[in-house]
């Protein structure tokens, strides 16, 4: 890892990412959080059928009203959420006020609902921020009508729908031959597939930290483990409800969903279940890694204590012999002998050597 990635670990307040913890767990659905309007809203309409395709960039949402009565399939993409525009668009396309509030909500749980002929999905697109080594989320609302799909996105700079845009430009693509429900499926499929890209990046980090734990565990390593566990919390919080959401779509008997499209949603369900299982595996690996870190710390402590105990044992004979010859008695063996000092020093050296040999023979070190 480059040196700049270690800089944040030098700041005590960010070592264990306590601010990140507050951002993750500080969610209270009983407190109404008003969304701040985006500075600018971008409206793009992709209108198509089997014979043609047009892409229009509109200046106002009112310009998109004409596509409601269009016989083609229309995808209206709103980048940047402004309350007035959302309410105006919802009133014209017959979106119920309850769904409008969900679109304008903040930190809403992924869900699906059908109200008065409108099928609604709310979930999150996930991105991996390489600069901060963090998982970022963006709420997206997908509104499915009879011949239209409306998407509301927060960030105009990014999404995962470029493959859909490319397929719409292809004359013989399956997307051009199907209805609006197939477009909705394609969006959900891309969002779920992008989860695997984020999880792949997390998997690489987990592998690197695991190797670091085995080779050289320290406080910075523990901080990395703690931060990874928080990113996995974000991952699991967004993947789990999407699994339930896709299952609800499969069970739905909505007239907006063609029977031929249901089998495609089953494929999305298989992918999201696999993603959920993988997130659980990552969670188990992180728990095992934390246990491994603690075991390594205890092992090093035991090694230190063992070395100190051996040193103490080896010095014990010298201490005893020195203590005996240091007594204030006149009749001590070899006290006045010219070889007495050499005998005492020799005993101090030979006895520890013999002790070392016995320790090695018994396999104590």
Beta carbons within 8 Å of 198's beta carbon, 6+ residues apart: 126, 127, 128, 135, 235
- The domain segmentation of the chain, as residue ranges, is 3-296, 302-362
Q: Which two tokens stand for residue 350?
A: 């030979």
Task: Residue 276: name the closest of 250, 240, 300 by CA.
Answer: 240
Q: Could you give the CA distance from residue 169 to residue 153 in angstroms, rounded to a whole number? A: 22
At 212-245, the pLDDT tens digits run: 888 887 888 888 888 898 899 889 889 999 999 9
365 vs 360: CA distance, rounded Å? 6
Find the helix packing angle between 259-325 and 219-251, rounded to 10°: 160
Total-model pTM: 0.79
- Could you tell me what percent of the chain has a pLDDT over 90? 46
Distance between CA atoms of residues 91 and 237, nearest Å: 32
The tokens for 234 are: 């974000």
Residue range 3-296, CATH number:
3.30.460.20
Q: Strand 148-153 to strand 73-79: parallel, antiparallel, or no bridges (unpaired)?
A: parallel
* Amino acid 355: pLDDT: 86
Residue 159 sits at φ, ψ, to 5 deg, of -165, -175
Query: In this structure, how many other beta carbons lie within 10 angstroms of the beta carbon of residue 274?
Result: 14
In angstroms, the CA 92 to CA 358 distance is 91
- pLDDT of amino acid 133: 85
The rounded mean pLDDT for the chain is 86
Q: Do 142 and 153 contact (CB within 8 A), yes or no?
A: no
* Residue whose entry in the numeric block shows the structure tokens 């409008």: 100
Q: Give the CATH class of 302-362.
A: mainly alpha
Tell me the mean pLDDT in the region 174-178. 91
Q: pLDDT of 119-137, one tens digit each? A: 999 999 999 998 888 899 9
pLDDT for the residue numbered 44? 95
Categorize the per-residue pLDDT at 331 as very low, low, confident or very high, splitting at 50, 70 and 90: confident
Can you name the residues that pair with 140 across neighbouring β-strands? 123, 153
């Amino acid at each position: 890892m480059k040196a700049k990635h270690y800089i944040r670990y030098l700041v005590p307040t960010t070592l264990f990412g306590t601010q990140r913890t507050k951002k993750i767990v500080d969610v209270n659905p009983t407190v109404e959080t008003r969304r701040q309007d985006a500075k600018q809203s971008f409206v793009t309409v992709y209108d198509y059928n089997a014979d043609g395709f047009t892409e229009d960039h509109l200046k106002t949402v009112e310009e998109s009203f004409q596509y409601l009565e269009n016989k083609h399939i229309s995808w209206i993409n709103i980048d940047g959420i402004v309350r007035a525009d959302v309410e105006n668009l919802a009133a014209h396309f017959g979106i119920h006020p309850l769904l409008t509030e969900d679109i304008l909500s903040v930190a809403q749980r992924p869900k699906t609902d059908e109200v008065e002929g409108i099928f609604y999905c709310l979930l999150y697109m996930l991105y991996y921020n390489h600069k901060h080594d963090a998982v970022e989320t963006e709420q997206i609302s997908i509104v499915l009508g009879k011949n239209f799909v409306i998407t509301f996105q927060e960030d105009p700079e990014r999404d995962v729908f470029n493959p859909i845009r490319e397929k719409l430009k292809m004359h013989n693509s399956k997307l051009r031959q199907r209805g609006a429900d197939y477009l909705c499926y394609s969006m959900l499929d891309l969002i779920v597939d992008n989860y695997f890209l984020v999880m792949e990046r997390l998997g690489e980090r987990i592998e690197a930290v695991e190797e670091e734990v085995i080779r050289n565990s320290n406080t910075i390593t523990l901080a990395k483990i703690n931060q990874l566990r928080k990113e996995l919390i974000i991952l699991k919080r967004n993947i789990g409800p999407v699994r339930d959401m896709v299952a609800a779509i499969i069970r739905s008997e909505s007239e907006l969903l063609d029977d031929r499209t249901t089998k495609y949603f089953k494929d999305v369900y298989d992918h999201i279940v696999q993603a959920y299982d993988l997130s659980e595996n990552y969670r188990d690996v992180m728990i095992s890694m934390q246990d491994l870190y603690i075991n390594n710390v205890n092992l090093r402590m035991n090694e230190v204590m063992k070395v100190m105990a051996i040193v103490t044992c080896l010095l014990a004979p010298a201490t005893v012999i020195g203590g005996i010859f240091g007594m204030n008695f006149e009749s001590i063996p070899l006290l006045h002998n010219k070889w007495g000092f050499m005998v005492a020093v020799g005993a101090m050296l030979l006895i520890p050597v013999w002790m070392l040999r016995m320790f090695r023979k018994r396999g104590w070190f």
